[in-house]
Amino acid sequence: MQQYKKRTHTCGQLRASDIRKQVTLTGWVDKRRNLGGLIFVDLRDRHGITQIAFEPDRSGACYELAKSLRSEFVISVSGSVVSRPEGQANKSMPTGEIDVEATELAILNKAETPPFPIEDSIDVTEDLRLKYRYLDLRRPIVQKNLLVRHRAYQVARSYFDRNGFIEIETPILMKSTPEGARDYLVPSRIHHGKFYALPQSPQTYKQILMVAGFDRYFQIVKCFRDEDLRADRQPEFTQIDVEMSFVDENDVLAITEGAIKEMFGSVIGVDTPIPFPRMTHKEAMEQFGSDKPDTRFEMKVGIFSEVVAESGFRVFSEAVKNGGIVAGICAPGAATYSRSQLDGLTDLAKTLGAGGLVYLKLQGDSIECSASKFVTAEETKKIAEALKAKSGDLVLIITGPWQKALTILGSLRLEMANRLNLIPHNKWNFLWVTDFPLLEFSEEDKRFVAVHHPFTSPKLEDIPLLDKDPAKARARAYDLVLNGTEIAGGSIRIHDSALQTKMFGLLGINEAEAKMKFGFLLEAFKYGAPPHGGIAFGFDRIVMYMTGSKSIRDVIAFPKTTSAMSLMDDSPSSVDLKQLEELHIRIV
RNA sequence: GGGGUCGUAGCUCAGCUUGGUUAGAGCGUCUGCCUGUCACGCAGAAGGUCGAGGGUUCGAGUCCCUUCGGCCCCGCCA
């Protein structure tokens, strides 16, 4: 260890107005340029870069020491701020008008050559960045992302505080509950054979906080889900969790809109007009083939089942007869697609679960149909009209059950929009999707499962449907969508013990099981539960959008790979047998 | 669980189709020269378990099998 001079300024701070000041800077050697009799060093900290000049006649002994400097050495440099010679200013740098002419140099730590350069535009594989995350995090662009994240935390906290919300921490070690995502389990040492779970969300706790009378709660909180990963999904992620008492949907939506407006406005200067447009789940599906529609571009889905209900083409008529739909999208200007491109789209549709893909190519007055043997010219004309297709367009048609056919079309819509470059990247399209179905039938489990979660209230007018036709019941649930990504979701909850018990029954959870798994909540509801509802924001995704990142990993300091590994510290990892014994666990 | 794609020098990649001298390039690194560079310049050098294991073959970076890992997607994600 050595004594060294503490910095008087940061590396992004000095300007021409500081000339003749004696200063000390500390930081990392970003670049060194040894011109023989003169050495330049770019010194970097998180605030910026300042050029240090070492001249033999003025710098003396420290010039000799400067010869040994290499990339990423940590140094402390003292000297005077000088103006650069005429014509030598670097206009692309904020500090580019000055140099610090060194008179003292202390090497605080040497460094090995990093496996990749510490700069914004690097071309390396992501696993390397993740393995050396501490070096990746030195890169200005990554630091900027985390600064945006920091600003977003602060704005969110301030907003909810000002609006009367109370920040309360809920347990990380909690009871494992059925329903929903797979839990991460934590074995109990004290209680033989028993396990905690890490929260998928603080859902039950926040509802109980409402029973406790806290009225308005929020928390910026880690959630854990042991499911497969994606570019926008990590096993542990951060939510802004919100719950309010004595509210309806409009109250929650309004608070959320305020939060989003403030966050996007004050963190990245994007003005978001509120209130956001609303669309029912049915509308979203039937127009965009998605429950999180990207409305930055049109190419809406069109359903034309009635046009082809009597078609001689059995694929069409049978689909309608079986209660399904025939629908399509119109890709503008894609009639030039080659056979192999169309085969590629057909393959894509099939991997998404379609039986096949029928297409129409419109060129001039003629319409070429891939099923022209069976589909009449009259029918193709009507289909083209239904989708408002023009000459030069390509129509893609999918048949099948409502949900499935529309979902596939939704994927094709995004695929074609990407291929045809139809997505304007400067738009911020926020959108509420409401009136989700309450339940959906799980073929895997042969029972109904909650679309949102088991505590979501049905729409009041749909409560009678719970007995007659549960699949038709709609939920008091809402999702906030930004440019085709769900960034928040919530609902008005059930606050009545009897209705909650009924809901569990519909989900195939019998009374004994409900009591065992959720007894504490049902019990709490018996002691004066206020009507309540809330929402949770996908914080990482929001920051991803704010920073223009392509992956959630770019806005998380220490993310995991798509196989849920941390390459830097190599977790998960094996543990000592002794640890397992203490936990009464054996690996099989 | 499934599909796609990638893995060769510190890094980014070429070589693989059609097996055959000593596996190449750029960047970086190291050494020398160089007093106004900022992608410094010039000259030279070092640097490889071709992800791992097995197989076919006289011979494998190249062909086959298995496996590990990265990324994207489907399923999954109340």
Domain end, chosen from A62, A86, A109, is at: A109
* Local structure of A89: helix, strand or coil: coil
pLDDT attached to residue A285: 96
Give the CATH number of the domain where residue A309 resides: 3.30.1360.30
Residue A288 lies in a domain: no
Q: In terms of domains, do A447 and A570 share one?
A: yes
CA distances from A16 to A27, A44, A100, A533 (A): 21, 18, 11, 56
CA distances from A22 to A2, A11, A26, A66, A104 (A): 22, 14, 14, 19, 11
Structurally, chain A folds into a number of domains equal to 3
A562 touches strand B (CB under 7 A): yes
pLDDT attached to residue A338: 87
Minimal CA–CA distance to A100: which of A52, A33, A49? A52
Residue A122 lies in a domain: no
Please state, in angstroms and rounded to a whole number, the distance separating the CA atoms of residues A337 and A219. 51
Please state, in angstroms and rounded to a whole number, the distance separating the CA atoms of residues A374 and A312. 6
A70 touches strand B (CB under 7 A): yes
pLDDT attached to residue A510: 87
A444 touches strand B (CB under 7 A): yes
Name A444's Cβ contacts closer than 8 Å, sequence gap at least 6. none
Give the CATH number of the domain where residue A223 resides: 3.30.930.10
Q: In terms of domains, do A450 and A419 share one?
A: no
Give the tens place of pLDDT for each residue, A146-163. Answer: 999 999 999 999 999 999
Q: Is the confidence metric ipTM above 0.90 for this complex?
A: yes
Q: In terms of domains, do A509 and A393 share one?
A: no
A573 touches strand B (CB under 7 A): no
Q: In terms of domains, do A327 and A212 share one?
A: no
Which strand B nucleotides have any atom less than 7 A from protein CB atoms? Answer: 1-3, 10-13, 28-30, 33-41, 69-78
Residue A10 lies in a domain: no
Q: In terms of domains, do A253 and A334 share one?
A: no
pLDDT attached to residue A343: 86
**C1' (B16) to CA (A352) span, angstroms:** 33
Residue A582 lies in a domain: no
Give the CATH number of the domain where residue A63 resides: 2.40.50.140
A 103-122 residues, CB < 7 A, strand B:
113, 115-117, 122
A 203-222 residues, CB < 7 A, strand B:
203
Residue A406 lies in a domain: yes
Domain end, chosen from A85, A109, A133, is at: A109
Q: Please, are residues A54 and A102 in contact by the beta-carbon 8 Å criterion?
A: yes
Q: In terms of domains, do A256 and A210 share one?
A: yes
**C1' (B18) to CA (A344) span, angstroms:** 29
What token pair was written down for A387?
Answer: 């989708």
A450 touches strand B (CB under 7 A): yes
Residue A536 lies in a domain: yes
Name A333's Cβ contacts closer than 8 Å, sequence gap at least 6. A392, A393, A394, A420
Residue A251 lies in a domain: yes
Q: In terms of domains, do A209 and A314 share one?
A: no
Give the tens place of pLDDT for each residue, A226-279. Answer: 999 999 999 999 999 999 999 999 999 999 999 999 999 999 999 999 999 999
Q: In terms of domains, do A152 and A81 share one?
A: no
A 340-379 residues, CB < 7 A, strand B:
351-353
Q: Which residue ranges of chain A lie beneath pLDDT 50?
A: none
Q: Which domain holds residue A319?
A: 297-423
pLDDT attached to residue A1: 61
**C1' (B24) to CA (A131) span, angstroms:** 28
In this complex, the nucleotide whose C1' atom is nearest to the CA atom of residue A70 is B29
A228 touches strand B (CB under 7 A): yes
pLDDT attached to residue A160: 98
Please state, in angstroms and rounded to a whole number, the distance separating the CA atoms of residues A241 and A222. 10
Domain end, chosen from A423, A448, A478, is at: A423
